[in-house]
């Protein structure tokens, strides 16, 4: 079914359904038991990383020719959604591996792809994405990090902020200014390695949610890298960064979708057990209406997200950009707003218990908030949608 906006009702295949069952079983057995402790201690979810690595789910998007699973965009969405259902921090492992490495897949030379996609597929190192800076958030083109050519090398200097999994990742896609006079057309993209001399990290941010996923500054102090680590041609980095976000905002929609589904699932079970006035509170119409609205909005977010994933896959296969920019922004914006609303309602359904850390919906509500902010705030998403109306 397709309308003028090409919003296909994308139905997962039998293989997708089997993948969902496998990831859900793995997440519930190997990731969920540690989710509360990961949040409480604000520590990296090592157990989740090991479970994902053992099952080749850490970077399913990597093409088969580089040793990856070659999963399509919907399969990647399903992996992220099912992991986020039990632990949002852990879902950022596959999500940010795609975010960080997609610029290389989209614009990198064949040699660069083989050099970095192969170890990513093997699990030898994660990938992070370095776009934002202290004074360049929504206005990413205003970045100040510089890359100066010096013979067969570039020398990078600057600070990147809000970098997910910084310090844990081995590889970093870094956007830097190579020609200040050209603003966005003077920005280039590079692969920087954690081991490069001059690379260091700030202290982990003390965050409201996703506490298990480290967010740190990345410092580049005269980092000298070979010129062949440039991704694409000089001056094309910003275009690559924006093209990347068209695809990866859908993974944030998936994360939000998973968080919301996890909160609904927990709340449904609770209201069936909790009794007041002599019967389960699930029997009260007011509660039933809340649950119905939560489920309805989650399903709408799921269809929007899956349709955007289908569009992403067609674009990746050479089907033209079309309205992917609109659909990616719409999916991310809608799903994250739904996640915030659903998790807040889940806390309400649990009453006083929902407000304590003894129950997971409090964590889910805190985790949901970031999905409205990163990879472009939802206010920016609405600007993007307005400029790209289908």
SS3 244: helix
In sequence order, what are the residues at sequence separation of 6 or more whose Cβ sits closer than 8 angstroms to the Cβ of residue 22? 55
Q: DSSP letters along 275-290, please?
A: EETTEEGGGSHHHHHH
Catalytic residue among 82, 168, 362, 375: 375
What are phi and psi for residue 82, nearest 5 degrees?
-70, -35
How crowded is residue 138: how many other Cβ atoms within 10 Å of its Cβ?
A: 11
What are phi and psi for residue 257, nearest 5 degrees?
-60, -45
Beta strand segments in the chain, E: 127-130, 146-150, 153-164, 171-177, 187-193, 199-201, 215-226, 230-231, 275-276, 279-280
In sequence order, what are the residues at sequence separation of 6 or more whose Cβ sits closer than 8 angstroms to the Cβ of residue 53? 123
How crowded is residue 154: how many other Cβ atoms within 10 Å of its Cβ?
A: 23
Active-site residue, 375 included: yes
Beta bridge partners of 146: 157, 177
Q: Which position has the token pair 């296909």?
A: 8
> How would you write 334-366 as a 3-class SS string?
HHHHHHHHHHHHHHHHHHHHHHCCCCHHHHHHH
Cα separation, 380 vs 333, whole angstroms: 9
Closest residue by Cα to residue 329 from 383, 256, 252, 381: 381
Cα separation, 257 vs 337, whole angstroms: 10
Tokens, residue 310: 């289908």
List the catalytic residues. 375
């Amino acid at each position: 079914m397709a309308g003028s906006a090409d919003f296909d009702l994308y139905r997962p295949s039998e293989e997708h359904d089997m993948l969902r069952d496998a990831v859900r079983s793995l997440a519930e057995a190997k990731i969920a038991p540690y989710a509360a402790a990961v949040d409480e201690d604000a520590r990296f979810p090592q157990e989740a990383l090991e479970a994902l690595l053992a099952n080749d789910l850490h970077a399913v998007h990597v093409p088969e020719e580089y040793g990856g699973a070659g999963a399509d965009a919907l399969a990647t969405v399903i992996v992220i959604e099912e992991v986020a259902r039990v632990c949002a921090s852990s879902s950022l492992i596959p999500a940010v591996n795609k975010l960080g490495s997609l610029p290389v897949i989209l614009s990198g030379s064949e040699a660069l792809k083989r050099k970095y996609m192969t170890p990513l597929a093997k699990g030898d190192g994660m990938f992070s994405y370095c776009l934002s800076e202290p004074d360049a958030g929504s206005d990413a083109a205003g970045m100040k990090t510089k890359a100066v050519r010096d013979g067969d090398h570039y020398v990078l200097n600057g600070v990147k902020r809000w970098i997910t999994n910084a310090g844990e990742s081995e590889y970093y896609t870094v956007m830097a200014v190579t020609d200040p006079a050209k603003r966005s057309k003077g920005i280039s993209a590079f692969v920087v390695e954690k081991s490069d001399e001059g690379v260091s990290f700030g202290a982990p941010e003390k965050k409201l949610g996703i506490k298990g996923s480290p967010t740190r500054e990345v410092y580049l102090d005269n980092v000298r890298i070979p010129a062949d680590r440039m991704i694409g041609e000089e001056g094309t980095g910003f275009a690559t960064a924006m093209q990347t976000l068209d695809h990866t905002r859908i993974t944030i929609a998936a994360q939000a979708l998973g968080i919301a589904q996890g909160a609904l699932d927990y709340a449904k079970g609770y209201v069936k057990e909790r009794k007041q006035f002599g019967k389960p509170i699930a029997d009260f119409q007011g509660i039933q209406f809340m649950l119905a609205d939560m489920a309805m909005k989650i399903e709408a977010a799921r269809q929007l997200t899956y349709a955007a994933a289908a569009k992403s896959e067609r674009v990746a296969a050479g089907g033209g950009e079309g309205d992917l920019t609109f659909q990616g922004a719409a999916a991310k914006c809608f799903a994250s707003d739904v996640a915030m609303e659903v998790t807040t309602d889940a806390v309400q359904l649990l009453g006083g218990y929902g407000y304590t850390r003894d129950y997971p919906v409090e964590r889910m509500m805190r985790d949901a908030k970031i999905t409205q902010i990163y990879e472009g705030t939802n206010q920016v998403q609405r600007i993007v949608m307005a400029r790209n109306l289908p």
